[in-house]
Amino acid sequence: MERIKVGGIMQSEGRAVVKVMSCPDRADIAGLVLGALGARNVNIEFLVQSFDLDGFSNFTLCIDRMDLEPAIEALEAIKPSLEAKVISYNPNVAVVSVFGPHFREKPKISGAMFSALASVGIKSIAISTSISSVSCVVDAEDVEAAVGALHEAFEAPHQVKQRPKAY
């Protein structure tokens, strides 16, 4: 199969994923979640909001692992006002991304990315896209295999590796 040209592949290690699950579908929920994290200086690298079959809102956030404790404290403090059923986390994940330019003209990228990851047995924890990138959260132990599979699937002149911030 012909490799698709992309701008590059990025891996971001030292991350944690936090899930705020089963909140009622209210207009203020996203503001409460994101405001509480912002007040604790927790930067969100990756955010997905979805709704389940019962109409409840679910948030999946990827943050720097160093910010996990203040993030959980902030979310637990507002959990009653969110009416969230569960706040869970995984402190050992990474984000892998394929980035542009011109993804608008390349509809095959997402399918090729997730087929490549599946070919080496990697499941995504969460997926997010923009006009110029496709990103997914994977278990930290899978990041090297994920990046290798993506390099097999794509012609990528650049690889960017981000490290966790130092304290």
Q: What is the pLDDT along the chain (167 residues), one digit of tens a residue?
A: 678 889 999 999 999 999 999 999 999 999 999 999 999 999 999 999 999 999 999 999 999 999 999 999 999 999 999 999 999 999 999 999 999 877 777 788 999 999 999 999 999 999 999 888 999 999 999 999 999 999 999 999 866 776 555 44
Q: Which helix (H) or strand (E) holds 30?
A: helix 29-39
Residue with tokens 């650049």: 158
Pairing of β 133-139 and β 126-130: antiparallel
Distance CA 81, CA 112 (A): 41
Domain end call among 90, 106, 124: 90
- Residue 110 in domain: yes
Strand partners, 19: 60, 88
Q: Are residues 62 and 112 in the same domain?
A: no
Q: Would residue 22 be called left, alpha or beta, if left means φ above 0 and alpha means ψ between -120 and 50 degrees? A: left
Closest CA to 17 of 96, 97, 126, 98: 126
Is residue 167 situated within a structural domain? Answer: no
> Which domain range does residue 122 map to?
4-13+92-162
Residue 138 domain flag: yes
Does residue 111 sit in the same domain as residue 79? no
Q: Is pTM beyond 0.85 here?
A: yes
Contact 23, 84 (CB under 8 A): yes
Number of domains in the chain: 2
